């Protein structure tokens, strides 16, 4: 007999909303950090913002658009009606998220990459994450 005392469960519908919040938080945090770092390096600000925006949109189009669609579909097709609160990601995605967070922290703390360049990396990653969250919100509100 399996006892599930500490596994909070939600409907798949609300799991989409939770996923949207997580993607919004991650994208927003990266954009905030990136813009904060840019603010400390004001030279060529417009060019940096334009480059970050363009690269972020391209990254969304080429990669994150598919990833977010895949996650939405996976959540919708979960075999149980009330999955675990943390099942908005699969194991592979949690490992990827952990790796990316670790890499970001290591790059920031090591000084190997300048704050100016790191700001662009954060912006380029933040834009597609934030844009991907819209797919989760749209699916949540339209279902």
- Give tens-digit pLDDT for 61-115: 999 999 999 999 999 999 998 999 889 888 999 999 999 999 988 988 998 888 8
Structural domain containing residue 132: 12-142
Q: How confident is the model at residue 48 (pLDDT cuts 50, 70, 90)?
A: confident
pLDDT value at residue 37: 84
Q: How many structural domains is the chain composed of?
A: 1
Q: Does residue 75 lie within any of the structural domains?
A: yes
Q: Does residue 1 lie within any of the structural domains?
A: no
Q: Does residue 60 lie within any of the structural domains?
A: yes
pLDDT value at residue 7: 78
Q: Does residue 6 lie within any of the structural domains?
A: no
Mean of the per-residue pLDDT values of the chain? 91
The 10 Å CB-count burial string (b at 16+, else e) for 77-96 is eeeeeebeeebbbeeeeeee
Q: Does residue 4 lie within any of the structural domains?
A: no
Q: How confident is the model at residue 1 (pLDDT cuts 50, 70, 90)?
A: very low
Q: Does residue 69 lie within any of the structural domains?
A: yes
Q: Provide the percentage of residues in the chain whose pLDDT is more than 70.
A: 96
pLDDT value at residue 113: 87
Model-wide pTM > 0.95: no
């Amino acid at each position: 007999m399996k006892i599930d005392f500490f596994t909070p469960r939600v409907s798949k519908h609300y799991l989409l909303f939770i996923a949207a919040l997580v993607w919004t938080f991650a994208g927003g945090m990266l954009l905030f950090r990136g813009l904060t770092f840019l603010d400390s390096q004001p030279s060529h600000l417009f060019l940096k913002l334009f480059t970050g925006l363009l690269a972020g949109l391209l990254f969304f189009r080429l990669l994150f658009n598919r990833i977010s669609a895949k996650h939405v579909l996976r959540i919708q097709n979960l075999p149980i009606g009330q999955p675990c609160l943390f099942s908005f990601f699969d194991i592979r995605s949690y490992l990827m998220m952990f790796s990316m967070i670790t890499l970001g922290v290591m790059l920031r703390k090591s000084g190997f990459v300048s704050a100016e360049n790191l700001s662009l990396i954060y912006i380029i990653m933040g834009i597609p994450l934030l844009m991907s969250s819209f797919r989760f919100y749209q699916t949540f509100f339209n279902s």
